[in-house]
Amino acid sequence: MVLLFVGAESWLRGSGWPKLPPGAVFIHNTVYWVEPPNLTLEAVKHNETGGSFRVSTDQNGLRTPLHTEQKPAGTVRLMTLGCSTTFGWGVDDAESYPARLETILNEGGHSVEVINGGQPGYTSFQGLHLWDTVLSRYEPDVVLFGYLVQDSREVAYSDRSQQLLQQDNEFIKQSLLHRLKSYLWLKARIDGVRTEQKEVGSPDTFRTPMSEYVENIRAFKARADAVGAQLVLFGYPLERSGYTEGHRAILHAAAAELEVPVYDPQPEMERRTASEPLYFPQDRGHANAAGNDVIAQGVAQFLVASGLVK
C-alpha cells in the first residue's frame, strides 16, 4: 500500500497533474477576489447603461452600510450574502437593497445594522471562503443566504474545477492532505470535478453544480449555527426566474430539510415588473433603485413577520 501510494504520488507529480487544458475558458481570471477596500464614493462604470454609480467600502472591501466588525450592544445585526445583485450593481450606496433594508427597519423603530456581504460575481463557493476569512468576524444575528444568480450560471468549468486546475492557494488548504496530488486526484473524482477538456458539443455545467449547491447551503447552516446566527434562505429575484429555476427549487427543498426560513419574492417581482420598471432596460439582471427598494421592503416585512427582527 505504501509503495502504491508513493508510486501514484510520484506519477501524478511527474505528469504535471492537473494540467490546464489548452484554450480553457474561465468566467473569471481567479476563483477568489474582493472589491477594493476603503473606497469613498468611488465612481464605478456601469458599462451596460453607459453611466456610473458611487461605491464606498470598508477595510475588508464590504460595501455600505459601513459598520465596525464588533457589533454594538442592543443591536440586531443582519448580513446579506450574494453576488452583484446583493452588492447593488448599478445603484449608489444608499440605493442598494441592504442599505435600504437598514433604513426601512430603523425608520420602523428597530435597532438594526445591515452588513452587505455581497461581492460581484460571487457564488456560494466563494462565499464560504469569504465567511471563513472575513464575514464571521462581523457577529451577525441573521444571515440571508442570497447566493443564486451566479451559482445557476452555465459555464465551461465549475468554480471548484477552476480552483483545482489553477491550483489556487486561496482555496487549497495548506494541510498535508491538500498538498498530496494523490489525495486531490481521488477527491476530484469523488466530487465529480472535471479537470480535462470537455468534448465538443458536450453540455455545460453550472458554476455551482446542484449537488455542491446543496452541500454549500448545509455548510452555511453549520457556520451560522456556530456563531449563534439564524440562517435565512433568500431566493434573490430576477425580472424573470429563467435559468435560476433549478437552483431556486433546491433552495426551497433545503429550507425544508434544514428547517430554516425561506423567502422567495420571485413571483411577486415578476408580477410587478409587468407594469413597473424595476430593472435596468440595458441590464435586466440587476435591479434599479426602485427595484432594490421593492426587494428591501419585502425582506423587511418578512423579517419582522417572522420575528427575526423585533
Query: What rounded mean pLDDT belongs to the chain?
Result: 87
Domain of 273? 62-153+207-310
Residue 275 has what pLDDT? 94
Supply the CATH number for residue 96's domain.
3.40.50.1110
Position 166 scores a pLDDT of 67
Domain boundary (202, 237, 270) is at 202
181 in any annotated domain: yes
Rounded CA-CA distance 98/39 in Å is 18
* 307 lies in the same domain as 172: no
* % helix, strand, coil for the chain, step of 5: 40, 15, 45
Instruction: Quickly tell me which residue has 484554450 as its cell.
Output: 23
Cα–Cα distance, 102 to 37 (Å, whole number): 21
The C-alpha cell that represents 62 in the structure block = 464590504
63-113 pLDDT per residue, tens: 999 999 999 999 999 999 999 999 999 999 999 999 999 999 999 999 999
The answer to whether residue 118 sits within a structural domain is yes
Q: Which residue has the cell 433545503?
A: 254
One domain, residues 133 and 228:
yes
Q: What are phi and psi of 24, to 5 degrees?
A: -60, 135
In a domain, 46, yes or no: no
Are 216 and 296 in the same domain?
yes
176 and 86 together in one domain:
no
66 and 190 inside one domain: no
277 found inside a domain:
yes
Q: Is residue 84 part of a domain?
A: yes
CA angle 88, 93, 97 (to 5 degrees): 45
* 18 inside domain: no
Given a cut of 50, the residues of the chain with pLDDT beneath it are 174, 199-202
Residue 15 domain flag: no
248 plus 178 within the same structural domain: no
End position of a domain, from candidates 136, 171, 202: 202
93/215 same-domain check: yes
Same domain, 176 and 261: no
Are 271 and 146 found together in one domain? Answer: yes
pLDDT at residue 171, rounded to an integer: 55
**Are both 165 and 148 inside the same structural domain?**
no
The kind and range of the H/E element at 127 are: helix 124-133
Q: Is residue 289 part of a domain?
A: yes
Instruction: Clarify whether residues 281 and 172 are in a common domain.
Output: no
What is the number of structural domains in the chain?
2
Q: Is 88 left (phi over 0), alpha (psi -120 to 50) or beta?
A: left
Burial group, residue 26, by CB count within 10 angstroms (0-12, 13-18, 19+): middle
Q: Are 76 and 138 contained in the same domain?
A: yes
pTM above 0.85, yes or no: no
* Per-residue pLDDT at 231: 98
